C-alpha cells in the first residue's frame, strides 16, 4: 500500500518543528518538505499542497485561509487538511480536532476532510467544561472564569528568544506575567463554541519562566450549578472519558488531597490529566487540566488527529 504523503506547511515554526520531530522516524509516512532554497516559491508550495494526502497547516490565520483557498482554486477535492491556527476553530464545516470532546467526535474527525486543531488553553478549558454541559451539571450561562499558565514556548520563536536571550533588546525578565487583560483573547470564541456555553468566560492567561507545560483552572460555585457536587462532577468526567488513554481523570482521593500542582507535570507527553479539587461540603470546587502546551495542546494533538484520519 502506498504511503500517505504528509506536508507540514510552516514546518520551521514551533508547532511545525515539533510535528516534524514526531513524524521523522515514521516509516509509514512520506514527508514532503520545501527545500530551503525554494521556501519563497509559491508554485512549489502549491504543488506540495496539492500532492499531499494530508497537509498540516502551522501558519498564521490569514496564511491558513490562503492555503485552503489554494487547494480550492486548484479544484483539489482530495487533499485533507489539519489547521493549527485559529482560523477555522469555530467553523461548523470543520471537524473539531479534539477526539475526546464528546461521543461521536472521533468518528467525525476520521471522516472529515477539514479538521481544526484546538488551541492549547482551549483544550484544557473545553475538556473541563464540555462534559459538565453535556451532563446537565453546568448551566450554559454559568459565569465561567478560566485561569491558566503556559510555558513560554506557546508564544512561538519570538517569545522563546525573548525569554532565553538575556542580551536581546526585547528580553523578558519577568518570571511570570498575565496578559490578554482586555479580555479579548483569541481562544475565547473557541471555548464558548466548543464547550456549549452561551456566555463568554472571563479568561486570564499567563506565562511562566518554563519552556513547556500548562495548567488550566476553572473554579466553580456549586450553588450556581444544577445540583452538582464534587463527587458528581468527578463521576461525570470518569464516565465521559472512559475507554480511552489520552485524557486521564485523576482519582477523587488524589485530587482532593493535592497540595500543589506542577504546570510541567505533563511536559513531553501528548496526554492530559484532569483534577477535581476542593473540600466536600464547602460549596466550591476547583477544576484543573494539566497538559503540555506543545503536546496535547498543539503538535501532539495534530499527530493524533492525523492518525485518526489515516485510520479512517
Q: Is 268 exposed, middle or buried (0-12, 13-18, 19+ CB in 10 A)?
A: exposed
Adjacency order of strands within the sheet including 4-9:
29-32, 4-9, 54-57, 80-83, 114-116, 95-96
- CB atoms under 10 Å from CB of 114, counted, come to 16
Cα separation, 312 vs 180, whole angstroms: 39
Cα separation of the two ends of the chain = 15
Per-residue burial over 88-105, b = 16 or more CB atoms within 10 Å of its CB, e = otherwise? bbeeeebbbbbbbbbeeb
Given 58, 120, 236, 277, the catalytic residue: 120
Question: Where are the extended beta strands (E) located within the chain?
Answer: 4-9, 29-32, 54-57, 80-83, 95-96, 114-116, 145-151, 176-178, 202-208, 214-221, 247-249, 272-277, 284-291
Q: Comparing C-alpha atoms, which of 120, 71, 65, 129 is closest to residue 101?
A: 129
- Determine if residue 276 is left, alpha or beta; phi over 0 gives left, psi from -120 to 50 gives alpha, anything else beta: beta
Cα separation, 241 vs 239, whole angstroms: 6
Helix (H, G, I), strand (E, B) or coil at 134: helix
Q: Is 194 exposed, middle or buried (0-12, 13-18, 19+ CB in 10 A)?
A: buried
8-state DSSP, 146: E
Is residue 14 within 8 A of residue 152, CB to CB? The reply is no
Q: Active-site residue 58, yes or no?
A: no
The residues that are catalytic are 120
Amino acid at each position: 500500500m502506498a504511503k500517505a504523503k504528509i506536508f507540514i506547511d510552516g514546518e520551521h515554526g514551533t508547532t511545525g518543528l515539533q510535528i516534524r520531530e514526531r513524524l521523522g522516524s515514521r516509516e509509514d509516512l512520506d514527508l514532503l518538505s520545501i527545500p530551503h532554497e525554494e521556501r519563497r516559491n509559491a508554485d512549489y508550495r502549491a504543488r506540495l499542497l496539492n500532492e499531499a494526502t494530508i497537509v498540516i497547516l502551522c501558519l498564521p490565520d490569514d496564511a491558513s485561509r490562503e492555503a485552503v483557498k489554494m487547494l480550492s482554486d486548484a479544484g483539489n477535492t482530495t487533499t485533507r487538511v489539519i489547521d493549527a491556527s485559529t482560523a477555522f476553530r469555530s467553523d461548523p464545516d470543520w471537524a473539531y480536532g479534539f477526539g475526546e470532546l464528546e461521543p461521536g467526535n472521533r468518528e467525525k474527525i476520521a471522516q472529515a476532510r477539514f479538521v481544526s486543531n484546538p488551541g492549547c488553553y482551549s483544550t484544557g478549558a473545553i475538556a473541563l467544561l464540555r462534559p459538565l454541559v453535556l451532563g446537565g451539571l453546568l448551566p450554559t450561562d454559568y459565569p465561567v472564569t478560566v485561569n491558566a499558565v503556559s510555558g513560554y514556548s506557546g508564544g512561538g520563536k519570538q517569545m522563546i528568544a525573548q525569554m532565553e536571550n538575556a542580551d536581546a533588546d526585547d528580553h523578558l525578565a519577568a518570571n511570570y506575567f498575565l496578559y490578554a487583560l482586555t479580555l479579548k483573547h483569541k481562544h475565547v470564541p473557541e471555548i464558548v463554541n466548543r464547550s456549549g456555553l452561551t456566555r463568554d468566560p472571563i479568561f486570564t492567561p499567563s506565562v511562566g519562566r518554563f519552556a513547556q507545560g500548562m495548567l488550566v483552572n476553572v473554579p466553580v460555585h456549586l450553588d450556581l450549578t444544577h445540583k452538582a457536587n464534587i463527587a458528581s462532577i468527578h463521576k461525570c468526567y470518569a464516565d465521559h472519558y472512559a475507554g480511552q488513554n489520552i485524557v486521564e481523570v485523576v482519582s477523587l482521593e488524589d485530587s482532593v488531597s493535592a497540595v500543589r500542582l506542577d504546570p510541567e507535570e505533563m511536559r513531553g507527553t501528548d496526554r492530559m490529566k484532569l483534577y477535581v479539587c476542593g473540600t466536600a461540603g464547602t460549596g466550591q470546587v476547583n477544576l484543573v487540566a494539566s497538559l503540555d502546551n506543545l503536546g496535547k495542546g498543539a503538535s501532539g494533538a495534530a499527530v493524533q488527529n492525523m492518525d485518526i484520519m489515516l485510520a479512517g
